[in-house]
Amino acid sequence: MKFIKTLLTYSLCVFIGINAYSQANSQDKIYETYDAIVGLNNTGLYNGTEFTDLFLNTDGTYRYFNGFDYTKGSVTYNGQYYVNVPLKYDLLEDNLLTRSDDNLSIFNVKLIPEFVASFSIYNKKFVRLSDTKLALSGNGFFEVAYLGNALQLYIKHSKKKKDKALNSGVQFKFSEDNFYVLKTNGSYSEVRSIKDVRKLLPEKNDEIRDFHKSYKTLYKSNLDSFMTNLVKQLDTSSEATKQP
């Protein structure tokens, strides 16, 4: 199958021309064309287990990333790259889901976590970090927030579930329980507040304090954006001090 995909990719490159192939989205279009010709059912994307959501009776909240429904995205799965496929990220159990239509029924597929190298949905890129050496639950999927020379920041999206007994049965409520992982000097550290950043980078304490003072509103309203911009600022200033 890999040989066929390689051969088809080469043939399509010749067909659409070198100039078109050099465009940013041309390679995605090639893989999408391949999947359409071969059929996703024959590509290996559905090599996983069927998924059933047992917590559908909710108060309007959901266990998934950025919405209940599937969205089109891309994923590198078992060494193969798939584009424009339906994906849904389950934050409760840290699993990536896709949907298959076998012409008889539509069913949800839970992808094998160890086979998922990376995926992108809602213009966010996620990677699987299996070497953090942190005692974290889940399958190790993190949003790539910032990749710098000295610092790297990843967002761990997760949700927790609460049960509420009603006359009609049990109702479920899902709420965010996010945190961050900061990589510095080759090591990963769990970060849940600005205090944790200060402990990891004591030499940057003054800079962190000044940044916090300038962006207090952002810290309260959008912690993801605040932490991303803070780490970017710290990384940039570290690089600047190295220059002669």
Q: Please name the amino acid found at residue 48.
A: G
DSSP 58: B
- Looking up tokens 């896709």 gives 98
Reported pTM: 0.81
Find the helix packing angle between 26-38 and 2-16, rounded to 10°: 130
Confidence of residue 26 (pLDDT cuts 50, 70, 90): low
CB 82 within 8 A of CB 74: yes
Cα gap 212→218, rounded to integer Å: 9
Residue 28: per-residue pLDDT: 52
Q: How far apart are the first and last CA of the chain?
A: 52
pLDDT, greater one: 189 or 102 = 189
**What is the C-alpha radius of gyration for the chain, rounded to an integer number of angstroms?**
21
186 has a pLDDT exceeding 70: yes
Cα gap 88→109, rounded to integer Å: 10
Strand pairing report for 95-101 and 106-111: antiparallel
Lowest mean pLDDT among 16-20, 138-142, 145-149, 213-217: 16-20
Residue 35: per-residue pLDDT: 44
203 has a pLDDT exceeding 80: yes
| pLDDT one-digit tens code per residue, 30-81 | 444 434 434 445 468 888 999 999 999 999 999 999 999 999 999 999 999 9
Residue 146: per-residue pLDDT: 98
| pLDDT one-digit tens code per residue, 149-184 | 999 999 999 999 999 999 888 999 999 999 999 999
Sequence spans of domains, the chain: 193-244
237 has a pLDDT exceeding 60: yes
CB 222 within 8 A of CB 178: no
Q: What count of Cα atoms within 13 Å lies in the side-chain half-sphere of residue 226? A: 21
